[in-house]
Structure 1
Amino acid sequence: MTMDIFLSLLRQTGLEGGRTRLDVSKSSQFLTALLLIAPCAKNDVEIEVVGDREMPYIDITLAVMEAFGVQVVSDGYKYFRIEGGQRYQPRIYNVEPDASNASYFFAAAALTGGRVTVQHLHLDSMQGDVQFVRILEQMGCQVAVSDIGITVTGPHQLKGVDVDMRAISDTALTLAAIAPFADSKVTIRNIEHTRWQETDRIHAMVTELRRLGVPVIEHQDGLEVSPSSITPAAIDTYEDHRMAMAFSLVGLKARGIRINDPDCVSKTFPNYFEVLQGLYS
């Protein structure tokens, strides 16, 4: 079936509604998608959630739905009911900066002892990934919050950390990329679910760090990275935008780093490398 025919069928038959059970143990994105379309169903939609996951992105989804006039009844993260036949209402809505993508620039400051400010981003953001700056703080960075945004200033030497990144796992690759430059081991825990994202991110991180000559121990739910000098290499990105953006940071401290398939960043940040280059100006 072609996509055009599939979309035509969707337009013709619509969404009936009803009750379903959804496993979110590998990703909450499926739940987000179902929640977003549920108000347009002909009848009520009830979703019983199974599987254990931190779900900060569901909080964002529900907040945005409410902002556009849609009501959702929920019992924690285990049950959701959305009345069918609702309609999203137009309004002016300010979109926050992308906290996940901001992590690369905060990490650039951390890695080089420089200073980076991301404007219009604040610690009370709905996006959990903004808390990545708290990990950088543990590593010796200075974090300043103002009306302008968040500023990270890097230290002379990064410190090692042992962190649970389950709630902010999109930034785990960022931390892994700068980990070899810390003064002691960096341990990343509780991110097993990232094995089922754009790629098996744990194994990809381990493989590419080892390609750089970095001692790494792989665990089912994370990895341990030891301090190391860097061997120049070309980094495979596995068609994963976050692999490309995270490992590009290594090139700020080590010569000879090449990123294979850099265009994969187009998924979320098409001009990432141009913006990164702009830090030099």
Structure 2
Amino acid sequence: MTGLPAGRAVGEIRVPGSKSASIRALAVAALAPGRSVVRGADPSDDVSAMARVAAALGAKVERDGADWVVEGGGLRAPDGPLDCGESGLTARIAIAVAGTIDGEVTITGRGRLPERPMGPLLDVLRSQHIEVVSAPGGTLPVTVRGAGGWWGGEVPVPTGTSTQFLSATLIAAPTARYPMAIRLEEGSGALGYVEMTVDLMAAFGARPIVTGHGFEVPKSGYRPTDYTVPPDASSAVYPAVAAAITGGEVTLVDLRPDDRQPDMAVLRHLEAMGCRVEGTDRGVRVIGPERLQGIEADLESSPDGALGLAVACLFAEGPSRLTGLHTLRHKESDRIAAISEGLERLGAEVATTEDSLTVRPPALITPAQVRAHGDHRIAMSLALAGLKAPGVDVDDPGVVAKTWPAFWDDMTRLVFQPG
């Protein structure tokens, strides 16, 4: 399948477990001595990459249906390089965890991952007296030579390029020799993902303290636990937008209206465009209007959700402007350039800056094959246009396995086709 059938999105859908929470939970479970169970984890390529990394570092990791069982603690240097696939979060956490281990650990990746920035995190490790060597420009492959683990004390962490540097530092911090004071630098970024990290750490017994400048992290280590992964709000964006653009009605099963995942903000933006969003005993229901309205929205706290929202803007009345998107330049693709190209192929007039996207919808969508640029979120976002415009195909449909392997089947089951 290379596209979605045209029709109205109606029904219930259970999106995969949060990829971001799944990756973080597997990493923390590997650091926690004893048996942990991570329930309802996302079955995607990125999560599998984190599971491979944890196992290579000495944790016992087994898949049990939709759950991962992890015997953590006692991590050691692996026999060979850690292949993080195309997952930036996995690579950054692996670098931080490698610093907790005595011995040499090399972290590698595939696709566009070796081009993505790691330098700010490497500087954090160096401030902890951990030797780090990287490819030119602070990119993968990265070799970490740990000796005695993280030191602790005060450490500045930049978040302007990615808050993943902060999340990785937080995850390693409870293992340090002394308490750690983390000071935030260089902008805010998607700090909702940092809140997710802090909440998850607390579930495993480590409790960072929020300060005026960042966090204080006690020397506590982690306790094993059973952790249930919430539905992925980032994946929920696609069926929500499907309801919005087709005038449909979709229930996102088990998603809580008060969930703190950053991309929940997209539901509020869809409300501003004319959708009705309401909590039910089954989850969150999204009801699309007869006609969407253009929007001006700041997506700095939820930039990944901007891609699906941009496709909603393709079907709105009047132009829309989305801002706060600078981190999208450094993902699996240059997502601002990639989504702009796709929207233009479908007939929209698009203007971009380094961190914004303005969409002027066409009078009529032009069916076309759109390029995924090797990026799962570009593929899933642009595919939604096919619900309203038959003939929209994605050139690389298999790339969705990075986040949602069953995307095409799950979304097709939502589509109601009269007659």
TM over 0.5: yes
Stretches of structure 1 that go unaligned for 5 or more consecutive residues are none
Q: 1:3 aligns with which of 81, 88, 91?
A: 81
Q: 2:193 aligns with which of 49, 57, 63?
A: 57
Across the two proteins, how many residue pairs are aligned to each other? 279
Residue in structure 1 matched with residue 202 of structure 2 by the alignment: 66
Residue in structure 2 matched with residue 45 of structure 1 by the alignment: 180
SS state at 1:266 partner: helix
The answer as to whether partners of 2:376 and 2:401 remain within 8 angstroms in 1 is yes
Using the size of structure 1 for normalisation, the TM-score is 0.91
Deviations 1:62-104 (A, max 9, x none): 111112111223314x3323233x3322233332110110010
Does 1:258 find its partner at 2:258? no
Residue in structure 2 matched with residue 28 of structure 1 by the alignment: 163
Does 1:241 find its partner at 2:319? no
Which AA in structure 2 matches 1:200? D
Q: CA deviation at 1:220?
A: 2.3
SS state at 2:304 partner: helix
Q: CA deviation at 1:242?
A: 0.7
Write out aligned runs for 1:41-190 (5 A). 41-54=176-189, 55-76=191-212, 78-84=213-219, 86-190=220-324
The answer as to whether partners of 1:24 and 1:50 remain within 8 angstroms in 2 is yes
Stretches of structure 2 that go unaligned for 5 or more consecutive residues are 1-78, 84-94, 106-144
Which AA in structure 2 matches 1:64? L
The answer as to whether partners of 1:122 and 1:130 remain within 8 angstroms in 2 is no
Identity of aligned residues (%): 37
Q: CA deviation at 1:146?
A: 1.8
CA pair 25-277 structure 1, distance change in 2 beyond 3 A: same
Which AA in structure 2 matches 1:48? R
**Which stretch shifts more, 258-267 or 15-24?**
15-24
Q: 1: distance between equivalents of 2:315 and 2:82?
A: 49
Q: 2: distance between equivalents of 1:73 and 1:159?
A: 41
Q: 1:276 aligns with which of 400, 404, 411?
A: 411
Q: CA deviation at 1:219?
A: 2.1
Q: CA deviation at 1:12?
A: 7.4
The answer as to whether partners of 1:110 and 1:158 remain within 8 angstroms in 2 is yes
Using the size of structure 2 for normalisation, the TM-score is 0.62
Q: 1: distance between equivalents of 2:288 and 2:353?
A: 29
SS state at 1:143 partner: strand
**Which stretch shifts more, 61-70 or 43-52?**
43-52
More strand by share: 2
Residue in structure 1 matched with residue 345 of structure 2 by the alignment: 211
SS state at 1:90 partner: coil
Q: CA deviation at 1:261?
A: 1.8
| Runs of 4+ off more than 4 Å | 4-8
The answer as to whether partners of 2:372 and 2:395 remain within 8 angstroms in 1 is yes
Larger relative contact order (CA 8 Å, sep ≥ 6): 2
Residue in structure 1 matched with residue 138 of structure 2 by the alignment: none
The answer as to whether partners of 2:294 and 2:317 remain within 8 angstroms in 1 is yes
Q: CA deviation at 1:58?
A: 0.8
Q: 2:150 aligns with which of 4, 13, 16?
A: 16
Which AA in structure 1 matches 2:231? P
CA pair 135-12 structure 1, distance change in 2 beyond 3 A: closer
Q: CA deviation at 1:2?
A: 4.8
The answer as to whether partners of 1:111 and 1:178 remain within 8 angstroms in 2 is yes
The answer as to whether partners of 1:14 and 1:41 remain within 8 angstroms in 2 is no
Q: 2: distance between equivalents of 1:4 and 1:99?
A: 28
Which AA in structure 2 matches 1:261? D
Deviations 1:119-157 (A, max 9, x none): 111221121211211211111112121232110111111
CA RMSD of aligned residues (A): 2.3
